[in-house]
Amino acid sequence: TSYAHYLHVLDMCCPNKRVSIYMPQDPLLRSAALSVCLSRIQEKNVDLMYVEEDAGWDMTAPFGKVDIAYMSWWRDRWAISSQGESHKGICYLAGDKNEPEKWFNVATTRHVQFYQNRFQLLFESFINEPRRKLRPAGILP
């Protein structure tokens, strides 16, 4: 379904315009996004990135020094910064504008998180149905 989702999203976008996709860190999303966006990656009109941020991150405020760390089996290059007690990390996966400082107050997954929480709330009785609870691959946000 992730693959189909990205196909549908890109279908709605003009092929000549640049598209930026922000996603939570998930290997399945990464694989689907990289596969579906391959032609856009080659044409240099897509930005794919993981974004992890604390709820207190202020998109309008300045942020501190950006530290670079290589993480996971893939050796992903994460740019990490803070604003007081709030932290944010960005991992630029594909594209030609890999300048983390420019993305910190632009890239966010808050809207995705809101949608997932709303979905969970609206369909909670269906999701938590006893026969689904017994299956580890049940619908979870």
Q: What is the pLDDT of residues 118-137, one digit of tens each?
A: 888 888 877 677 665 565 55
**Mean of per-residue pLDDT scores for the chain:** 90
Give the model's pLDDT for residue 124. Answer: 81
Give the model's pLDDT for residue 132. Answer: 58
Q: Are 95 and 88 in contact (CB under 8 A)?
A: no
CA dist 128 and 76 (Å) reads 35
Give the model's pLDDT for residue 41. Answer: 96
Instruction: Map out the domains of the chain as residue ranges.
Output: 2-108
Looking at 2-11, 72-81, 117-126, which range is the least confident one?
117-126
Retrieve residue 28's tokens: 């399945």
Q: How confident is the model at residue 31 (pLDDT cuts 50, 70, 90)?
A: very high
Cross-strand partners of 77 = 70
Give the model's pLDDT for residue 139. Answer: 54
Q: Which residue has the tokens 């990390």?
A: 89
Helix (H, G, I), strand (E, B) or coil at 109: coil
The answer, as to whether pTM is greater than 0.75, is yes
Q: How confident is the model at residue 140 (pLDDT cuts 50, 70, 90)?
A: low
